[in-house]
Structure 1
Amino acid sequence: MSSPDQTPPAAALTDVTAAHASVNLLERLADKLGGRASVSAVFGEPVTRDDITVIPVAGIGFGFGGGAGRETGTAKTGEGGGGGGGAAATPLGFIEIKNGTATYKPIRDPWVDIALPLAALLAGTAAPKIVRALRARRALSRARFTRGG
């Protein structure tokens, strides 16, 4: 006789098969995503023209998840779930090799180049006006307090 704590051999085999299926699923996802998330998928291959070589640089990441199934209850019903994944590649810049010298050149976001100076200009223009308005309001409050009204 087996105790209630022991797993019957058939259930153990089902769990091992489900775990094996999960591992296979995760391996297939990793292979597919890893093969597609590459610098060449974002930019293409390095290019050489007129003694200048340009090598693209990108940030690449991917994630994935999996699942498993198992047999439950005395009615031998099954339950399980699966998973999926995704990949992202972001262009960061390029390395330019010219006359034996390599130089990294980042790709900058034009909105940052415009928005940051514009925000600083607006803050610099508005700040003195806000300070003057607050001082006038405080002076008015003091005047009312000292008159008692």
Structure 2
Amino acid sequence: MTTADGTDRPAPPPDGDAAHASLALLERLADKLGARASVTAVYGESVTRDGVTVIPVAEVAFGFGGGAGRERGSAKTGEGGGGGGGVRGRPCGFIEIKDGSATYKPIRAPWGDVVMPLAALLAGTAVPRIARRLAVRRAR
């Protein structure tokens, strides 16, 4: 169907095909956004300098959901619709190619290197003290 402004748009679905129209819309959105959701969108292109090539590695995920509705009945009227989606990208690391060998170098979060060991140390010292105090209170 061509609109007054000359753009092509899909023909409106028959009354019983609202769910199919929603599904078709979500599929088109997923195709278009999925083609753009890539490692280059998160990190950029690979770089080669001084004989070293760095290739970015990223995790890219997307999800979509939608719905449709229609009220059946002689006195009741209704319409429906809805949809949503999201894309997430996270850099994971990079591959370094140097002198004929490739090495993966992960990007690590400081939480795993600093905060988690400190939390484990704190829990390791606090839990025995709390257990002793509870045992003393129960003995009284």
TM-score interval w.r.t. the shorter chain?
0.7 to 0.9
Provide the residue aligned with 1:117 in structure 2.
117
User: Is 2:49 the partner of 1:49?
Assistant: yes
Matches of 1:21 and 1:38, distance apart in 2: 27
| Matched AA of 1:37 | A
Unaligned segments of structure 2, at least 5 residues: 1-12
Matches of 2:132 and 2:80, distance apart in 1: 67
Provide the residue aligned with 2:6 in structure 1.
none
User: Is 2:7 the partner of 1:14?
Assistant: no
Shift of 1:133: 5.0
| Matched AA of 2:16 | D
8 Å Cα contact 1:39/1:58 also seen in 2: yes
8 Å Cα contact 2:45/2:55 also seen in 1: yes
TM-score when normalising by structure 1: 0.68
| Matched AA of 1:41 | A
Q: Decide which structure has greater helix share.
A: 1
CA 1:98/1:72 → structure 2, altered by over 3 Å: closer, same or farther?
Answer: same
Matches of 1:86 and 1:125, distance apart in 2: 43
| Matched AA of 1:45 | E
8 Å Cα contact 1:29/1:84 also seen in 2: no
| Matched AA of 1:59 | E
Provide the residue aligned with 2:4 in structure 1.
none
TM-score when normalising by structure 2: 0.72
CA 1:78/1:131 → structure 2, altered by over 3 Å: closer, same or farther?
Answer: closer
Matches within 5 A, 1:74-89: 74=74, 77-89=77-89
Bigger-Rg structure (1/2):
1
Question: RMSD between aligned alpha carbons?
Answer: 3.1
CA 1:128/1:27 → structure 2, altered by over 3 Å: closer, same or farther?
Answer: closer
Shift of 1:59: 1.1
8 Å Cα contact 2:64/2:83 also seen in 1: yes
User: Is 2:78 the partner of 1:61?
Assistant: no
CA 1:13/1:124 → structure 2, altered by over 3 Å: closer, same or farther?
Answer: closer
